[in-house]
Chains A and B, each alone.
Chain A
C-alpha cells in the first residue's frame, strides 16, 4: 500500500449535511464541544460537518462512532443517497478526479454508482428489492452497467453467489425468504457485481448473530484481499473496525474527533471519547 498523498482514490473536503433550516451559527453551536448536533437556535440537525478525508486505492478505512454521530450520513452522502448541504468530493476514477461528484446531475451520479461504487446497507431491505429474485437484484447492477446478455448475467450472478458463499440454487429465490446473514451476502454480491474500485459498508454485521457476524466479516476480508477493492467501513463496533480496517476515523456529534492507523487508535487512543470507546471494548 503506497499512501502517496497524490495517489488518492477519493478525496472529501468540508462535507456537511444539515437537516431543517439552519442559520449561520448552526455549525458553530454544535459538535462534540456542545455534546449535541442539534442547533439550539434553529432546531436544525447538523448530521455531519466539515468532514475531510482521503481514501487510497485498495485501502480499508473505518468510520467509528455511536449512533447519531453522523458516520452513516457520511457514506450515504458519498453514495448519493442523501444530498449534501456543503462540501466537495473527488473520485479519481471519474473525470480524472477533477470533478466534484456531489455536484453532478442525478443521471451522472447514477452512472458513478452503477459503474464505480457499491453499497452494503445495515438493513438488507435498503439495498435489495425483495420483489425481485437474488439473481434479479444482482442483474440490476449488471444491466445498468450495460450488460444485456441474460446468459452472462446469470453466469456472473452464480459466480458472485459462490464467492459470497450463498447456495447457488437460491439464485432465483427472493431474498425475502433468506436469513439475515444470507441477505447481507446477496447485498455484497450485488454491490461488487461490476468490480467497483470503491465499496461502502454501513453496519453490515449489526443485527446478525455473533457466529454469523464472524463468517460475514471473514468473507468480506477475503474478498477485499482477492479483489483489492477500497472500502469505507462504518460501524459502532470496534471489533469490526479492528478486523477489517487499515485506518480509522472516529466521529462524535457529526464531527471527526480523531483519526489514524487503526492499530494506533486501538492501542493509544488520544481523544477522551475514543478512549471511552476503546476501554469499553476491552
Chain B
C-alpha cells in the first residue's frame, strides 16, 4: 500500500481555493429555467437548494456537533474501512469524511479516494515488513499453539452480540472509571518486553510443505512487475501486484460476498487461517541520498490463508504425487479482518487458472468489487436518460406498428417478403425475448 504524502517544500503554488464560497459562473445569457423544457427545471438553483437541504438534515436536531477527534477515537473500525477503501491512510481525514456524509461509509471512502487523487506522488515507500509488526492481535487456526503464542487482542469475535443498553446513557464519569480500573490491572512489572513474532507460514515453508502457485501469466516478466494501479491503466490478465492492490482498495462487502461464494462451493478455495495479525508497521521511504527514513507507523491487518494446491510439474515432485499447501494473501489498512481474510481467499482463487467460478475469474472479481466504481455507476441510473430512452422508444413504436399492420393484413404469412428484399420474422416472433440484443446505456 502506498501512501500519498505531501511534501510542502516541493509543492507547487496553487491557483484555486476550492473552499472559498462558490459564486455561480457568469455567462452571456441566463439559462432558461422557467419554461419547463428540460427534465429538471433550474438545475443550478435546485442543486444549491438540495445542498442546503442535506446540510439542514445533518444538523437540524441541534445536537452538539460531533468533533472529528471523537469520531476518530470512537469510530475506529468505520474509519479503518474508509481508509482502506479510500486507499488513503489518514485517520483524521477519515473522521472528517465520515462526519461530512452523515456516516455513509461508501460516500466517505469516495471522498477519501477523490482527495487522494489530487495529491502528487512524492515517494514510493519501502515494502512494509509485517514480520516486524508490533502485534496487537495475532491468531492462527491451523495450530493449537504457535511460536510466541496466540494473542487474542481486541476483537468483537467473542463479545456476545447482545445490544448493550448501558451505552444508551454512557457518561464521561463511567468512561473514566473503566479506564482507571483497566489501567490498574496492567502491572508494569509483569509486562513482557516487546517482541516480534515468527510467522506460522515460515514453519510450513521450512518443512517444505509450502509452494508458490500461479499460472503462466504470473510467472512471466509482466506478471512479476510491480505496478502502481493509481498511475497505470490495468489490462487483463493483470499482474498479481495489481490484483492485490485492487483487492486492498475493494469494498469489504463486495469481496466478502465473492470470498464467501468460493468457500461455499462456487469455486474450490477451502482455506484455513494460517495466520491473521493486526498491528502497527513502520513505513520508510528512501530520501534523495538513498537513505531509508522512517516516516511513521500505520495499522494494518494481514491474513495468510492456507489452502491445498495441486501438484505441479513432475520435476517439482519429490516422491510420487504429493499435495502441498499454498498461501492466499490479504493485507489492508486498519483493523478489517473480514476484508483481509476474503482478500486472501480471492488472491488464491484468482490463481486457480480456471474461470469456472466467479471468484476464480479476475476480470469478474476486480471489475465488480471496487465500491467507488460500483456505487457511482449504480447511482448514475438516477441521471436523466430521456434522450436514450426516446431513441429506443422510437424503435419499439415502429416495430409494434409494423407487426400490427402485418397481422391485420395477413394473419399467417411466414414466408412473405417485405419490400426491402429481406424476409422478415414470422408472426409471434416479437413476443419472444431477445437472447442477444445490444444493450442501451
Task: Point out residues on A near B: beta carbons under 8 Å.
Answer: 20-21, 41-43, 131-132, 149-151, 154, 169, 172, 174
Leading 3 A-B pairs by shortest Cβ distance: A151-B421, A151-B422, A43-B314
User: Residue of A at shortest CB range from B421?
Assistant: A151
User: Residue of B at shortest CB range from A176?
Assistant: B435
Please determine whether A154 and B422 come into contact, CB atoms closer than 8 angstroms: yes
Please determine whether B426 and A172 come into contact, CB atoms closer than 8 angstroms: yes
State how many angstroms separate the Cβ of B356 from the closest Cβ of chain A.
16
A132 to B436, CA, bound (A): 7
Chain B residue numbers with a CB within 8 Å of A150 are 422
23 A-B residue contacts at CB 8 Å?
A: A20-B313, A21-B313, A41-B314, A42-B313, A42-B314, A42-B315, A43-B313, A43-B314, A131-B436, A132-B435, A132-B436, A149-B421, A151-B417, A151-B420, A151-B421, A151-B423, A154-B422, A154-B423, A169-B414, A169-B426, A172-B425, A172-B429, A174-B435
Q: Mark B394-430, 1 if CB is under 8 A from A, else 0.
A: 0000000000000000000010010011110110010
State how many angstroms separate the Cβ of B436 from the closest Cβ of chain A.
5
Give 19 A-B pairs besides A43-B313, A151-B422 with Cβ atoms closer than 8 angstroms: A20-B313, A21-B313, A41-B314, A42-B313, A42-B314, A42-B315, A131-B435, A131-B436, A132-B436, A149-B422, A151-B417, A151-B420, A151-B423, A154-B422, A169-B414, A172-B425, A172-B426, A172-B429, A174-B435
State how many angstroms separate the Cβ of A13 from the closest Cβ of chain B.
29
Task: Point out residues on B near A: beta carbons under 8 Å.
Answer: 313-315, 414, 417, 420-423, 425-426, 429, 435-436
A20 to B216, CA, bound (A): 11
Chain A residue numbers with a CB within 8 Å of B422 are 149-151, 154
Chain A residue numbers with a CB within 8 Å of B315 are 42
A20 to B316, CA, bound (A): 14
A-B CB contacts (within 8 Å), total count: 28
User: Residue of B at shortest CB range from A169?
Assistant: B414
A154 to B420, CA, bound (A): 13
A269 to B179, CA, bound (A): 95
A216 to B421, CA, bound (A): 33
Chain B residue numbers with a CB within 8 Å of A42 are 313-315
Chain A residue numbers with a CB within 8 Å of B435 are 131-132, 174
User: Residue of B at shortest CB range from A172?
Assistant: B425
A20 to B425, CA, bound (A): 49
User: Residue of A at shortest CB range from B314?
Assistant: A43
State how many angstroms separate the Cβ of B315 from the closest Cβ of chain A.
7
A42 to B314, CA, bound (A): 6
State how many angstroms separate the Cβ of B100 from the closest Cβ of chain A.
47
User: Residue of B at shortest CB range from A174?
Assistant: B435
Chain A residue numbers with a CB within 8 Å of B425 are 172
A244 to B314, CA, bound (A): 43
A149 to B417, CA, bound (A): 14
Chain B residue numbers with a CB within 8 Å of A132 are 435-436
State how many angstroms separate the Cβ of B437 from the closest Cβ of chain A.
11
A149 to B420, CA, bound (A): 10
State how many angstroms separate the Cβ of B47 from the closest Cβ of chain A.
44
User: Residue of B at shortest CB range from A155?
Assistant: B423
A251 to B422, CA, bound (A): 48
State how many angstroms separate the Cβ of B178 from the closest Cβ of chain A.
64
User: Residue of B at shortest CB range from A168?
Assistant: B415
A132 to B313, CA, bound (A): 41
Chain B residue numbers with a CB within 8 Å of A151 are 417, 420-423
A41 to B313, CA, bound (A): 11
A190 to B429, CA, bound (A): 23
Chain B residue numbers with a CB within 8 Å of A20 are 313
Chain B residue numbers with a CB within 8 Å of A41 are 314
A185 to B59, CA, bound (A): 72
User: Residue of B at shortest CB range from A40?
Assistant: B314
Chain A residue numbers with a CB within 8 Å of B420 are 151
Chain A residue numbers with a CB within 8 Å of B426 are 169, 172
A21 to B436, CA, bound (A): 40
User: Residue of B at shortest CB range from A44?
Assistant: B314
Chain B residue numbers with a CB within 8 Å of A154 are 422-423
Chain A residue numbers with a CB within 8 Å of B421 are 149, 151
A21 to B420, CA, bound (A): 57
A131 to B433, CA, bound (A): 12
State how many angstroms separate the Cβ of A156 from the closest Cβ of chain B.
12
Chain B residue numbers with a CB within 8 Å of A174 are 435
State how many angstroms separate the Cβ of A166 from the closest Cβ of chain B.
16
User: Residue of A at shortest CB range from B429?
Assistant: A172
Chain A residue numbers with a CB within 8 Å of B313 are 20-21, 42-43
Q: Which of B423, B425, B426, B429 has the most C-beta atoms of chain A within 10 angstroms of its own C-beta?
A: B423
State how many angstroms separate the Cβ of B312 from the closest Cβ of chain A.
10
A149 to B422, CA, bound (A): 8
Chain A residue numbers with a CB within 8 Å of B423 are 151, 154
Chain A residue numbers with a CB within 8 Å of B429 are 172
A149 to B313, CA, bound (A): 52
State how many angstroms separate the Cβ of A61 from the closest Cβ of chain B.
35
State how many angstroms separate the Cβ of A152 from the closest Cβ of chain B.
8
Q: Which of B314, B417, B420, B421 has the most C-beta atoms of chain A within 10 angstroms of its own C-beta?
A: B314
State how many angstroms separate the Cβ of B251 from the closest Cβ of chain A.
31
A174 to B422, CA, bound (A): 20
User: Residue of B at shortest CB range from A133?
Assistant: B435
A174 to B435, CA, bound (A): 9
Chain B residue numbers with a CB within 8 Å of A149 are 421-422
State how many angstroms separate the Cβ of B426 from the closest Cβ of chain A.
7
Chain B residue numbers with a CB within 8 Å of A131 are 435-436
A131 to B437, CA, bound (A): 10
A172 to B423, CA, bound (A): 11
User: Residue of A at shortest CB range from B426?
Assistant: A172
A150 to B425, CA, bound (A): 12
User: Residue of B at shortest CB range from A132?
Assistant: B436
A150 to B417, CA, bound (A): 12
